[in-house]
Amino acid sequence: MGLTSHKVLALSALVSVLLVVGTVWLWPRLARGGWAAVCGRIGTIVATQLAVVCTLGLAANNSFAFYSSWDDLLGTADNGPVTVENQFADGRRTAGIQQIGNENVRGANTVGRDPAVVGRLERIRIPGATTGLATEGYVYLPPQYFQPEYQNRRFPAAVAITGFPGDAKNLVTKLNYPATELQQIREGKMKPTVLVLMRPSPAMPRDTECEDVPGGPQAESYFAKDVPAAIRGSYRVGDAPGDWGLVGNSTGGYCALKLAMKHPEVFSAAVSLSGYYRAADDPTTGDLFGGQQQRRNEADLAWRLANLPHPGVALLVGGSKEGDGDYYESTRQFVAAAKGGPTRVSSITLETGGHNFNTWNRMLPASLDWLSEHLNAPS
């Protein structure tokens, strides 16, 4: 039986109930002294607690689609290459960025710490000159950034956004963007690109959904205006069309698509890994639209494709057929709505995969390769 099977949940619930009833029935017999009785009491308590926790965990997983199968849960799912399906055949500090420290790039057979060999990961704080917002994140500078033949070149940049309420560090420790890019560069599959690793809200603990909230935080402007300006002022990155892209998972995936669709003059391409297509509406978001239905509509990406001119951007959507709620059906509708217009949509479709880092790790190398193809080379 599969991890998300209702039979597994029902069996776990039944075992929990039987253990509770058994504990009540046995408890008077275990009340006497002696090691056997003490061990019996401890055993019944532990078994009951474990059964209840397992049942609650299964129920939560079925509701939120964290893991789609036992292999997904245990990390033994197929990690082979994935296929992208196309819809159509020196660091200056002039913009106020505060460098907090350097960290090592892990994985990808990194030997030594020479930045000209493995690149450099910098922890930074990115201020918003126009919005007054600020958040901490990371910048990964690829090895070429430090090599003499590239010393006068500007690099393409990609803003990577994690899910809410995740921390930017998840993009280093759980998805490991730096090591993945380094490996793809070494294999000749990706152009050297500056990665800007960020959390999805510059106004924590509120989930802004990368939206300019009336009378509230201007998160969309922060990502579309302030972040590129600050990074360009502190690093050798380009500002020409095709120099900037986006990639994100979950909330970050929604943000990536929305920012590219609303600001094609800034971002030429975006990747969404298990992202959704309309803004969340829950206690963490509050009222994002000031009660204005038009603003809510414009944050619905399928509505935008159906009612507004299509922007000339390239988008990649990645996720699974089974194990991630209604992702597959909503993605099919989004891809279909984009056909026939200047918005080009490609896709990665896994047979199974939950809403988790295991699934996103499987898609990340191909996603970065695709994004690199749609960005300029260092120039």
For 158, 260, 378, the CA distances from 266, given in Å and listed in that order, are: 11, 8, 17
Determine the Cα–Cα distance for residues 375 and 242; give it in Å rounded to an integer. 5
26 and 129 both lie in a single domain = no
101 and 132 both lie in a single domain = yes
Q: How far is CA 20 from the centre of its chain?
A: 40
Structure tokens, 304: 């935008």
DSSP of 98-148, one letter per residue? Answer: EEEEEEPPPSTT--S--HHHH-EEEEEEEE-TTT--EEEEEEEE-GGGGSG
Among the listed ranges 7-11, 242-246, 267-271, 276-280, which one has the minimum average pLDDT value? 7-11
Dump pLDDT digits (tens) for 82-125.
444 544 334 444 446 666 666 655 544 444 479 999 999 999 99
What's phi and psi for 62, nearest 5 deg? -65, -30
Which of the pair, 12 or 338, is modelled with greater confidence? 338
What pTM did the predictor assign?
0.77
Note whether residue 35 is domain-resident: yes
Number of domains, the chain: 2
Note whether residue 378 is domain-resident: no
Which of the pair, 14 or 175, is modelled with greater confidence? 175
- Point out the domain boundary residue: 64, 94, 110: 64
Range of the domain at 341: 85-373
292 and 350 both lie in a single domain = yes
50 and 89 both lie in a single domain = no
Class of residue 252 by CB neighbours under 10 A (exposed 0-12, middle 13-18, buried 19+):
buried
Dump pLDDT digits (tens) for 5-17.
667 667 777 877 8
Determine the Cα–Cα distance for residues 34 and 242; give it in Å rounded to an integer. 76
Note whether residue 77 is domain-resident: no
Quick check: 372 pLDDT over 50? Answer: yes
Note whether residue 74 is domain-resident: no
Note whether residue 241 is domain-resident: yes
Q: What is the CATH number of the domain that holds 131?
A: 3.40.50.1820
**Strand bridging mode 157-161 / 120-127:** unpaired
208 and 151 both lie in a single domain = yes
Structure tokens, 297: 């509509």
Among the listed ranges 22-36, 192-206, 323-337, which one has the minimum average pLDDT value? 22-36
What is the percent of the chain where pLDDT is above 90? 67
Helix (H, G, I), strand (E, B) or coil at 173: helix
Crossing angle of helices 35-64 and 6-26, in 10° steps, is 160
Note whether residue 78 is domain-resident: no
A 10 A CB-CB count for 364 gives: 25
Mean pLDDT for 214-236 is 96
52 and 92 both lie in a single domain = no
Note whether residue 231 is domain-resident: yes
176 and 267 both lie in a single domain = yes
Note whether residue 69 is domain-resident: no
What's phi and psi for 314, nearest 5 deg? -105, 130
58 and 104 both lie in a single domain = no
52 and 95 both lie in a single domain = no
